[in-house]
């Protein structure tokens, strides 16, 4: 083999080597970035799930709370639909229970909130969404 | 030639190394996704159980109140053998020895009305589920044991899951706190063969009453002291139950 051919092969090997090193570099950069993204995304999801779980358990306990000898909060929700004069009382109870958070409480559903169904002549969907203050 | 072989082998090793890394990363990500999904599904199951258990307890309480309302509205008797009188524009069933509230019949009717009302309320639950239940009334406590299967579809990170799971839930309603089924028979025993003056002095734990006399009959209008939730003609009410009957002097 002449000298020129040897130089040609050496250049070819070097280029291939650099290419592979570059591919490896890209792989480590992208996989690292992906894992970082996944971790932060998972953290976001878990924080959201934690808040949803808190909302679920808080709402479950609150609905069963007695507001007087005869009525629970669930009854008060039902009554507030039958007779709007009970709405103030319901809002007061909600404020007492959830004022620790930024909260949104709605009858007839709320996207992404914890929800419970309350039997009535038309089933009510009570939803609670909370955020940390 | 030897040098070319060496370079090729080096490239091959590096290629295998890159491929292995990619496979490992993909496997690890999928595993993490599946783990996250399983945790979310477990969480979902527990929440669905809470939701349905809560609904069952509420429905049991409402159905019990509805059944008591039906008993009161029918005068707590079997209508076929009873006379009905009109007074003040209202209907009064005449209670006598042939037509009187009887504990056994009241309990049977109460459970029939309760089961009808509970089934209606359960049919209004917005999610998919299967349920079988048994109800019994012992010592003033209404017990409903429900065997339930929840069917749910959940889209998570890794896949769309169809899940189903079983659980058993027992709802208890203490009727003595509301109104005992035995109250109707107790009222009959207290008012029968009594004069108007004696009747006016009577007291009942769960009821207020008014009494009027006309044409040889005493007309009774009983109202519960507490309000009850019940549906009438598709409209929901929260008001006292009314029991009207009359009795010969």
pLDDT tens-digit series, residues B151-194 = 888 777 777 888 888 999 999 999 988 888 889 999 999 998 88
Cross-chain Cβ contact B25/A31 below 8 Å: yes
Sort out which chain B residues have CB atoms less than 8 A from A45's CB and list them: 36, 157
Q: Nearest-CA residue of chain A relative to B43? A: A53
Nearest-Cα distance to chain A for B123, in Å, is 10
pTM of the full predicted structure?
A: 0.81
> Which position has the higher pLDDT, B157 or B101?
B101
Q: Rounded to a whole number, what is the distance in Å from the CA of A85 to chain B's nearest CA?
A: 13
A interface test, pick of B17, B47, B117 with most A CB neighbours within 10 Å: B47
Q: Taking CB atoms and an 8 Å cutoff, what residues of chain B touch A26?
A: none
A106 CB near a chain B CB, below 8 Å? no
Kindly state the tokens that stand for B233: 């003609």
What is the 8-class DSSP label of residue B206?
S
Cα distance from A70 to chain B (closest Cα, Å)? Answer: 8
CB A115 within 8 A of CB B51: yes
User: Which residue did the predictor score with more confidence, A37 or B70?
Assistant: B70
The dihedral sign for the CA sequence A55, A120, B226, B177: negative
Q: What is the pLDDT of residue A42?
A: 67
E strands along B126-191, which residues? 129-138, 141-155, 160-174
Q: Is the Cβ–Cβ distance between A74 and A130 less than 8 Å?
A: no
CB-CB under 8 Å, B21 with A31 = yes
- Sort out which chain B residues have CB atoms less than 8 A from A82's CB and list them: 236-238
* Disruptive mutation site among A5, A66, A74, A119 for chain B (greatest number of B CBs within 10 Å): A119
Summarize pLDDT for A50-69 with one digit per residue, the tens.
888 899 999 999 999 999 98
Name the average pLDDT for chain B: 89
Which DSSP string corresponds to A64-90?
A: T-BSSSS-BHHHHHHHHHH-GGGHHHH
| Cβ within 8 Å, pair B236-A78 | yes
| Contact with chain B for residue A11, Cβ under 8 A | no
The total of other beta-carbon atoms located within 10 Å of residue B13's CB is 11
Burial category of B41 from C-beta neighbours within 10 Å (exposed 0-12, middle 13-18, buried 19 and up): middle
The torsion angles phi and psi of B116, rounded to 5 degrees, stand at -60, -50
> Is residue B114 within 8 Å of B181, Cβ to Cβ?
no
For residues B139, B141, B147, B153, the Cα torsion angle rounded to the nearest 10 degrees is 180
Instruction: Give the torsion sign (CA, B69, B72, B77, B78).
Output: negative
Across A25-34, A78-87, B41-50, B59-68, least confident range: A25-34
Q: Could you give the CA distance from residue B109 to residue B102 in angstroms, rounded to a whole number?
A: 11
Q: What is the pLDDT of residues B119-153, one digit of tens each?
A: 999 999 998 899 999 999 998 999 999 999 988 88
pLDDT in tens, B42-90: 777 888 999 999 999 999 999 999 999 999 998 888 767 789 999 999 9
At B139 the three-state DSSP class reads coil
How many percent of chain A have pLDDT more than 70?
95
Task: Name which residue leads in pLDDT, B160 or A38.
Answer: B160
Element (H, E) at B94: strand B90-94
A131, pLDDT greater than 60: yes
Q: What angle, rounded to 10 degrees, do the helices at A3-63 and B2-73 form?
A: 10
- CA-to-CA distance for B174 and A66, rounded, in angstroms? 16
CA distance B141 to B139: 6
- Please give the Cα distance from B72 to A47 (Å, whole number): 52
């Amino acid at each position: 083999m002449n000298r020129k051919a040897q130089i040609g092969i050496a250049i070819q090997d070097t280029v291939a080597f650099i290419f592979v090193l570059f591919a490896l570099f890209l792989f480590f950069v992208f996989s690292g970035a992906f894992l970082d993204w996944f971790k932060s995304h998972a953290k976001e999801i878990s924080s959201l799930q934690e808040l949803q779980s808190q909302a679920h358990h808080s709402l479950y306990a609150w609905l069963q709370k007695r507001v007087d000898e005869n009525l629970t909060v669930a009854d008060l929700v039902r009554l507030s639909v039958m007779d709007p004069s009970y709405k103030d009382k319901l809002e007061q109870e909600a404020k007492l229970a959830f004022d620790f958070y930024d909260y949104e409480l709605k009858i007839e559903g709320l996207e992404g909130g914890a929800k419970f169904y309350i039997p009535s002549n038309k089933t009510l969907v009570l939803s609670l969404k909370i955020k940390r203050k | 030639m030897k040098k070319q072989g060496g370079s090729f082998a080096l490239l091959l090793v590096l290629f295998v190394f890159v491929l292995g890394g990619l496979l490992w990363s993909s496997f690890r990500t999928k595993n993490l996704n599946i783990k996250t999904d399983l945790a979310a599904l477990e969480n979902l199951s527990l929440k669905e159980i809470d939701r349905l258990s809560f609904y069952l307890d509420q429905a049991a309480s409402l159905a019990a109140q509805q059944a008591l309302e039906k008993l009161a509205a029918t005068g707590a008797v079997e209508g076929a053998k009873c006379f009905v009188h009109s007074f003040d524009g209202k209907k009064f069933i005449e209670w006598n020895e042939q037509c009187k509230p009887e504990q056994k019949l009241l309990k049977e009717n109460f459970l029939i009305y309760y089961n009808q009302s509970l089934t209606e309320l359960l049919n209004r639950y917005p999610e998919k589920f299967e349920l079988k239940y048994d109800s019994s009334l012992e010592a003033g406590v209404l017990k409903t044991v429900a065997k339930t299967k929840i069917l749910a579809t959940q889209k998570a990170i890794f896949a769309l899951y169809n899940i189903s799971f079983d659980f058993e839930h027992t709802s208890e309603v203490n009727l003595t706190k509301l109104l005992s089924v035995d109250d109707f028979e107790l009222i009959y025993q207290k008012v029968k063969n009594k004069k108007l003056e004696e009747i006016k002095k009577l007291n009942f734990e769960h009821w207020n009453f008014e009494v009027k006399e006309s044409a040889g009959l005493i007309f009774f209008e009983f109202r519960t002291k507490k309000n009850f939730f019940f549906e009438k003609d598709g409209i929901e009410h929260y008001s006292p139950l009314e029991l009207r009957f009359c009795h010969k002097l």
